[in-house]
Structure 1
Amino acid sequence: VGPMHNHPHEQTTYVKSGVFDFTVGDETHRVSAGDTLYKKPNVMHGCICVEAGTLIDVFTPQRDDFIS
């Protein structure tokens, strides 16, 4: 589970594998391998994993808190 949250970054999520229910704002979308989602800054979003898989997230501007 990715709990509902927001942040000031634009975010694009690519579904490499698996199945997920993503809520973005007031809408929920079921996505699977090959799908892409876009989240505008400051919009509430989160997800529930339906079938184990891998997500690849890209943020702009860069999220310094994710850089080690």
Structure 2
Amino acid sequence: MFVKSFPTVNADPGVTRQVLADSPDLMVVAFRFGHEGAQGKLHNHPHVQSTYVESGRFRFTIADADFEVGPGDSFVIPSEAIHGCLCLEPGTLIDTFTPRRDDFL
């Protein structure tokens, strides 16, 4: 078993990102939102993404749909779907990407 440590980096104002694990086919990343109002800006990418809400509350936009999520909720974001979120209560999202996000390394 090979364990790597990855640095925590600033992703957006009030948001940090830390890769937790990666392989060419899969990547797990923690996004920590430090305050209400912090945002994961609208964006898209070719990766399929699964998001698990470890803590906090968030309002997500995926394509034309808006919904709120809290601890224990999870969902999948399709490849190329425009998406983003607004932090309603500080917390952490655990995102999994396939294939891995090389731009995060």
Q: TM-score range by the shorter chain?
A: over 0.9
Q: Percent same amino acid at aligned positions?
A: 54
Q: Which has the higher contact order (CA 8 A, sep 6+)?
A: 1
For the pair shown, the structure with the greater C-alpha radius of gyration is 2
Equivalent position SS for 1:65: helix
State the distance in 2 between where 1:37 and 1:51 align: 19
Equivalent position SS for 1:42: coil
* 1:45 corresponding residue in structure 2: 83
* 1:56 corresponding residue in structure 2: 94
TM-score (norm 2): 0.62
- Which of 7, 26, 47 is residue 64 of structure 2 equivalent to? 26
Unaligned runs of 5+ in 1: none
State the distance in 1 between where 2:49 and 2:43 align: 12
State the distance in 2 between where 1:36 and 1:59 align: 14
State the distance in 1 between where 2:48 and 2:84 align: 14
Q: Matched residue pairs, number? A: 67
State the distance in 1 between where 2:58 and 2:45 align: 20
* 1:9 corresponding residue in structure 2: 47
* 2:31 corresponding residue in structure 1: none
Equivalent position SS for 2:46: coil
CA RMSD of superposed structures (Å): 0.6
Equivalent position SS for 2:52: strand
